[in-house]
Structure 1
Amino acid sequence: MAAAAPTRVKVHVFLKPGVLDVQGKAVENALHGLGWAGVANARVGKLIEFDLDGADDPATEAKKMCERLLANTVIESYRIEAA
């Protein structure tokens, strides 16, 4: 029996609604200055991507990682993709 291939995990982390996103506002203002006046509510986040080997449930393991290290759950939310 062949070993299972590692699972590719993507974790998207963003500030929660209501938390001031200074970077997002700066991007929005810069885009306005460059002529894209229709841009609104820009948010800047981070993407953490990794291969996870040996996990029975990669999404559950990634959630544990988010709760302990990858996201500050007081001010950030996250979304996990495991494929």
Structure 2
Amino acid sequence: MKARVTVTLKNGVLDPQGKAIEHALSGLGFGGVGQVRQGKVFDIELVGTDKAKAEADLKAMCDKLLANTVIENYAVEIA
């Protein structure tokens, strides 16, 4: 079973890397770019087929390691 976890900064949290990318894109001539926010994507392959256990395990992974839940949100997709 494959899963994708997307981690993004919560609204209102400053994103200096996103701001740097935004300025770099502008410097490269991409004038139509508005705000840029950077995030992380994790592709995880899980052994087993129990979707409920996979969802619980992925939530625990995010809460314990993959995301800083004070400043980040996460979304889990299971394929």
So what's the TM-score if we normalise by structure 2? 0.89
Deviation at 1:55, TM superposition (A): 5.6
Q: In the alignment, residue 17 of structure 2 is paired with which amino acid?
A: Q
Deviation at 1:40, TM superposition (A): 1.1
- What percent of counterpart residues are identical? 52
Q: Which has the larger radius of gyration?
A: 1
Q: 1:31-42 residue pairs with structure 2 within 5 A?
A: 31-42=25-36
Equivalence for 1:49: 43
Structure 1 residues without counterparts, runs of 5 or longer? 1-6
CA RMSD, Structure 1 to Structure 2 (Å): 1.1
Q: 1:1-83 residue pairs with structure 2 within 5 A?
A: 7-54=1-48, 56=50, 57=52, 58-83=54-79
So what's the TM-score if we normalise by structure 1? 0.85
Deviation at 1:54, TM superposition (A): 2.5
**Structure 2 CA distance, aligned partners of 1:41 and 1:55?**
39
Q: In the alignment, residue 21 of structure 2 is paired with which amino acid?
A: V
Structure 2 residues without counterparts, runs of 5 or longer? none
Q: In the alignment, residue 61 of structure 1 is paired with which amino acid?
A: D
